[in-house]
Every structure is written in C-alpha cells, then in structure tokens.
Amino acid sequence: VIIRKWFPQSDLLAHPNIKLFITHGGQLSTIESLYRGVPIIGIPVLGDQKLNMANAANRGYGVLIDFPDLSEETLTKALEEALNNPIYSQNVKRGSQILRDQHTSPADRAEFWVDYVIRHKGARHFRPASMELTWYQHISLDVVLFLTAATVVFFVIFYK
C-alpha cells in the first residue's frame, strides 16, 4: 500500500491491472472511472455523490453503499458482486465507448469556442438576457415590493 497526498487518479484507472475503483462518488471520479472503463463501488458522503452513485448503479456499472450501512460485510458483498458479475464490466466498457465516441476532441472543441468568441467580439448573443437587468430586477425586488404594497392596500381597504 502506498500512501500519498495525491495520485494521478485518471492515469491509475487507465492501468490494465485495475479491476475496480472504490470512491466517494464525486462527479469527476465517476466520470473518470466510466471513461477508463473501470467498475466502481461508491460510498457517498456529501453533496451530489449519492446521486452520482445512484446513476452508476442504475446504469449497471457501479455498486452503491450508503455510508451508514458501511461494514466489513457490506463492503465484502459489494466487492464480490462487482468483481464476479461480468455485467458490471460489460456495462462500464459500453459506457466508456459511448463517452469516448466524439467527432472532435475536447481540446479541438475548446479551441473552436475560444476562436468563435474572439471572432464575434465576445459573442454577446450568447449572454443571457438577465445580464441586462438591474440588480433589483434580477432579484425581483420590484415585483416583491409591488405585491407587498398590493397586499397591504388590500388589507387596509377590507379590514378597516
């Protein structure tokens, strides 16, 4: 066992001897695992991790263990399921092929969009209309104040 503060996770997942990945289920970890074609066991702790792992489990390339249920028994069962059932490996390989099947590389797409924005002098047509609103319109303060005033007037008129 090697302990370090940081490992190049995607490179490790690309190694041919890696058969399974145990993770917290963060978005980047699940995408890297899918991209590299490695089944996962996820033990989510915070935020979007449970949703990411539920997605992996529903798509058949991951096993979800709820953190409160984590024990030697549940981990052993999940390891046996993910390593011995070929459906996990098949599903993650299929998902990896789908994820990798792109007509251009991400670097080429990034280059295109940077050039596009430069050619169109900032591409203002892509900016949302909300960028043109004043701060009080953006937070709907004008609407809230109007509705508050209307409610006050209503109560003053009918309950006087």
Predicted pLDDT at 65: 97
Task: Assess whether pLDDT exceeds 90 at residue 4.
Answer: no
Predicted pLDDT at 150: 96
- Overall fold of domain 9-100: Rossmann fold (3.40.50)
The pLDDT tens digits of the residues spanning 135-151 come to 988 899 989 999 999 99
Helices 86-100 and 27-36, axial angle in degrees (round to 10):
100
Task: Assess whether pLDDT exceeds 90 at residue 113.
Answer: yes
The pLDDT tens digits of the residues spanning 22-47 come to 999 999 999 999 999 999 999 999 98
The pLDDT tens digits of the residues spanning 64-86 come to 999 999 999 999 999 999 999 99
For residue 19, what is the DSSP state? -
**Residue 3 confidence class, pLDDT cut points 50, 70, 90:** confident
What does the alpha-carbon distance between residue 53 and residue 32 come to, in Å, rounded to a whole number? 13
Nearest alpha carbon to residue 38 among 6, 72, 61, 58? 61
Domain assignments of the chain as residue spans, ordered by start: 9-100, 106-158
Predicted pLDDT at 90: 98
The 10 Å Cβ neighbour count of residue 68 is 6
What does the alpha-carbon distance between residue 12 and residue 19 come to, in Å, rounded to a whole number? 11
**Residue 1 confidence class, pLDDT cut points 50, 70, 90:** low
Please compute the mean of the pLDDT values over residues 3-25 and round it to a whole number: 92
Query: Phi-psi region for residue 115, left (φ > 0), alpha (ψ -120 to 50) or beta?
Result: alpha
The answer to whether 38 and 18 are in contact (CB under 8 A) is yes
